[in-house]
Structures are given as C-alpha cells and as structure tokens.
C-alpha cells in the first residue's frame, strides 16, 4: 500500500510538472495502428560554447568564432529516423486509424530500476491539425537507399529538407505533439552532451569507432541505428552513420554576428539552398564527425534526378543524409508553425 501511494504521488508530480524546463522526462512516443515507436530523451537546459577553437583537430573557418549559446530544455529522439518509420508517412497506411495519441498519450518511465512504464494523458494537444491536411511525399521512382537496405533499423536517406519537415508535421498531426527538426544549436548542444571537446569522448578520434560508423569502419554503407555506443545523454549516432538535417539555413558568417550570450539561435531559411547538415556520415573521415563540424546542402544533391522539375521530396545524391526529430515543450503560435514545417505543397 505504501508503495502504491508513493507511485501515485510520483505520477501526479510527473503529470503536473511534465512541461517544466528543468523536469522534462524521457518518454516513448507510440504511433497508433503500428508497432513502431520513438524513444524521446529529455535534454536539459544549459549553456555551451558553440563552434570550435582554431587549434581543434579538423577545425574549419565556418566554426569560428566560439560563442556562448543558451539552450532551453527539449526532447530529442535517441535514434535517427528509420526507413520503416518514414514509410508510415510516405505510404500513409495508418492515417485512417483513430489515433490513441491525439489526446497526448505517451509512455513515461516511472521506475528506472525495473523499467516500468505507465501511459499518461496530457489534457491539451500541442497542435490541432488534421493528418490529411499535411502534404504527402511522392513515392520514389528508384531505390533511394541505393542498395544499402530499408529493413529494420536502417536510417532513411536521400530525403530533402522539405520532406523531413513534412514528416515532422505529419507526426505532429498524428500524435498531437509538436515535432520538428532540431536547430543547429540544439543539435550541437545535444551532440556535445556537456563536453567542450571535439567529440563527446575527447579531442582525438582514437575511440571514434566505438561510437560511430565512418569512412574507416563502415565498408561504404550505412548501418542499423543504435549499433554503436550512445553519448553520455543516451543519443546514438550523433557522430556518423548518416548526417542529419537541422532547421537552420547554412551561413558561414552568422557566428561572428552573435552577441555575448545568444539564447536559442535559429537561422530561418529564406531559400532552398543551403541548409545546415550536422554529424557527418559513414562516408566521411573523422574530422567531419566532430560536434562542431558543419555542412551546407547543395543542389548537386539532386544531380542525377532526371525529372523536370526535380523532385521536391527526394535527393538522388545525398545517400549520406538523414534526420532525427526533436520536440519543444513550448510549441510556437500557430502563425509561426510555417517556420518549422514549411508551406504546404499543392
């Protein structure tokens, strides 16, 4: 009886303080009509130095100068989005299944020792949009994995920035929670996991093979997500496997224009190219997997697309780029959602 009362009190605290910046809890997002889910990890608020010093291994000028950034707490997916998960959006087989999550149901771990979970219901949705109002991506005309596989755990690749945005909007409509891509600052903060070294495990790449698939150990292809060690915050494949879209436009001059302490920076894209990509991939050398390393997208990523106009949804030459999602505990006003999800495509 004492244990039951204690558990009930704990659950009440979780439900009351679920959205507190300091007290976010890890949870598992269920997707109705499927056996798939997404593990969402609570990333604490904090400050860090964004970028890299000139003496860092592999330093490049677009990572300078170092500048202090403040990040509010948020949730980040422990793994990159897989083909199986993305195909739910692409094929839309679950859109007609009544969503048990529309009221805000998520599985919250309440007993770390036993792994026990309980389903809690949030009284209000983060978003209120219809699933069928979200633009659907076209089915690819070739195998966009380029033979690397789309089976269990394989990360989705070759999707455009727009397609990643629309997946987030579709998932938000499906679940009632506001999901989006991470900002560059959020991504780097989470990758560092409280460290200021080149990688979360140190300044040199000797241990990189324990945490990442990259040029030296990948055999030229991506691998199932989560098969290497996670970083100290429980995030897998932040270094390597596939590089990851962020929300930001890629700008080489922005760092030098920021103030002494910049809260939650985000460069709103105004053009199709370039967007910022982070993390490096199975295709890259160790220096490109550093936490501070940046890459701008290019129209060359559609070089082999024979269509005219070229696909809005698929790249043909970015088989090294995927994405992961985050959730903001304080979703934007409805009129600002376009900054995170883009405009609808007719």
Q: What is the rounded CA–CA span in Å between residue 279 and residue 302?
A: 21
Give Cα 275 distance to the centre of its chain: 14
Q: Dihedral of the CA atoms 284, 151, 190, 220 (nearest 10)?
A: -10
- Strand segments (E) across the chain: 27-30, 37-43, 46-50, 67-71, 74-77, 105-111, 116-121, 179-180, 243-249, 261-263, 275-278, 294-296, 321-322, 326-327
CA distances from 149 to 32, 51, 153, 155 (A): 25, 34, 10, 9
What is the token pair recorded at 142?
């070739």
Q: What is the rounded CA–CA span in Å between residue 47 and residue 147?
A: 41
pLDDT value of position 109 = 52
Domain residue limits, the chain: 43-96+125-341
Cα within 13 Å of Cα(63), Cβ side: 23
pLDDT value of position 98 = 63
pLDDT value of position 184 = 99
- Give ∠ CA 289-293-298 in degrees, rounded to 5: 100
Least confident of 179-188, 260-269, 305-314: 305-314
Task: Taking the CA atoms of 39, 76, 158 and 209 in sequence, report the sign of the dihedral they define.
Answer: negative
As a three-state string, the secondary structure of 145-180 is CCCCCCCCCCECCCECHHHHHHHHHHHHHHHCCCEE
pLDDT in tens, 1-25: 433 333 333 333 333 334 444 589 9
- As a whole number, mean pLDDT of residues 308-337 equals 94
pLDDT band at residue 89 using 50, 70 and 90 as cut-offs: very high
> What CATH class does 43-96+125-341 carry?
alpha beta
Closest CA to 38 of 240, 325, 331: 325
Q: What is the rounded CA–CA span in Å between residue 82 and residue 150?
A: 8
Spatial neighbors of 115 by CB under 8 A, at least 6 apart, are 109
Phi, psi of 4 (to 5 degrees): -65, -45
pLDDT band at residue 119 using 50, 70 and 90 as cut-offs: very low
What is the token pair recorded at 246?
């962020």
321 and 243 Cβ atoms separated by less than 8 Å:
yes
Q: What is the rounded CA–CA span in Å between residue 79 and residue 74?
A: 15
pLDDT in tens, 178-227: 999 999 999 999 999 999 999 999 999 999 999 999 999 999 999 999 99
- Among 15-19, 120-124, 126-130, the range with the most confident prediction by mean pLDDT is 126-130
pLDDT value of position 92 = 87
248 and 267 Cβ atoms separated by less than 8 Å:
yes
Name the 3-class secondary structure at 245. Answer: strand
């Amino acid at each position: 009886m004492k244990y039951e009362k204690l558990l009930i009190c704990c659950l009440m605290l979780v439900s009351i303080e679920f959205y507190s910046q300091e007290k976010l809890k890890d949870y598992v997002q269920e997707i109705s009509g499927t056996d798939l889910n997404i593990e969402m990890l609570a990333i604490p608020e904090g400050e860090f130095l964004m970028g890299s010093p000139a003496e860092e291994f592999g330093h490049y000028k677009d990572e300078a100068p170092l500048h202090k950034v403040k990040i509010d707490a948020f949730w980040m997916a422990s793994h990159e989005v897989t083909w199986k998960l993305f195909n739910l959006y692409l094929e839309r087989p679950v859109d007609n299944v009544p969503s048990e999550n529309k009221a805000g149901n998520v599985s919250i771990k309440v007993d770390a020792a036993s792994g026990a979970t309980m389903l809690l219901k949030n009284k209000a949705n983060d978003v209120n949009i219809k699933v069928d109002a979200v633009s659907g991506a076209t089915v690819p005309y070739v195998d966009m994995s380029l033979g690397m596989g789309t089976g269990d755990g394989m990360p989705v690749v070759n999707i455009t920035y727009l397609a990643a945005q629309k997946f987030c909007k579709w998932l938000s409509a499906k679940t009632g929670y506001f999901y989006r891509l991470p900002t560059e600052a959020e991504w780097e903060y989470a990758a560092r996991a409280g460290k200021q070294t080149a990688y979360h495990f140190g300044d040199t790449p000797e241990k990189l093979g324990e945490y990442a698939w990259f040029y030296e150990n990948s055999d030229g292809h991506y691998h199932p997500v989560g098969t290497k060690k996670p970083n100290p915050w429980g995030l897998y494949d932040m270094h390597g496997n596939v590089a990851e879209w962020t929300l930001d436009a890629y700008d080489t001059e922005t760092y030098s224009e920021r103030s002494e302490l910049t809260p939650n920076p985000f460069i709103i894209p105004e053009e199709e190219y370039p967007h910022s990509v982070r993390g490096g991939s199975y295709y890259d050398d160790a220096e490109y997997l550093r936490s501070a390393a940046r890459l701008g997208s290019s129209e060359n990523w559609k070089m082999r697309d024979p269509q005219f106009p070229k696909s809005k949804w698929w790249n043909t030459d970015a088989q090294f780029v995927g994405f992961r999602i985050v959730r903001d505990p304080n979703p934007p006003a409805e009129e600002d959602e376009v900054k995170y999800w883009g405009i609808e495509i007719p």
